[in-house]
Amino acid sequence: MNRKELLQKAGMAVAVSGILSTLSAEDHDHSGAMPTAGKSKYAKAMMAAIHCKLSSEVCLSHCLTELGKGDKAMAVCAASTREVISLCDSFVKLASQNSSFTKKLANLCIEVCEACAKECDKHANHHAVCKECRDSCLACVKELKKV
């Protein structure tokens, strides 16, 4: 494992732990019991959004590397992953608060994830990272439609 991969994996681990903290914060009851995200009515959608966000982070990093090598075809893919990262993160934050805007944001997130999946599909045969991003976006869409 090279330094870049180590930093990416460490960053993802930190992101996951922070997101899991956010998910469990709503269930905090001071009783001494371990909080869980399973009580949230949005738990499955939040987990799908977390996975989608992380897959998009990895895809974005890959796109930027390819752009640095001169592959300009990855520019639109990079832009779409940035949008997914922002929307999925926002969805998790609102859903974990049981916000009245969760459904509206879920609908926007669906639109952005579908667009990203479509863009990543163009590169899925050549880049495994793009295939993973596409698949996680489609899984996220499936869960968000249930919100």
Structural domain total, the chain: 1
The answer to the question of residue 60 being in a domain is: yes
Per-residue model confidence as pLDDT tens digits over 108-147: 999 999 999 999 999 999 999 999 999 999 999 999 999 9
The answer to the question of residue 107 being in a domain is: yes
CATH number, residue 141: 1.20.1270.360
Per-residue model confidence as pLDDT tens digits over 22-34: 545 444 444 444 3
Domain range enclosing 73: 42-145
CA distance 65 to 71: 9
* Least confident span in 9-23, 53-67, 97-111: 9-23
Return the pLDDT at 33.
44
The DSSP 8-state label assigned to residue 94 in this structure reads H
CA distance 60 to 72: 13
The answer to the question of residue 47 being in a domain is: yes
Residue 66 near residue 119 (C-beta atoms within 8 A):
no
The answer to the question of residue 30 being in a domain is: no
The answer to the question of residue 134 being in a domain is: yes
Per-residue model confidence as pLDDT tens digits over 32-81: 443 444 578 999 999 999 999 999 999 999 999 999 999 998 999 999 99
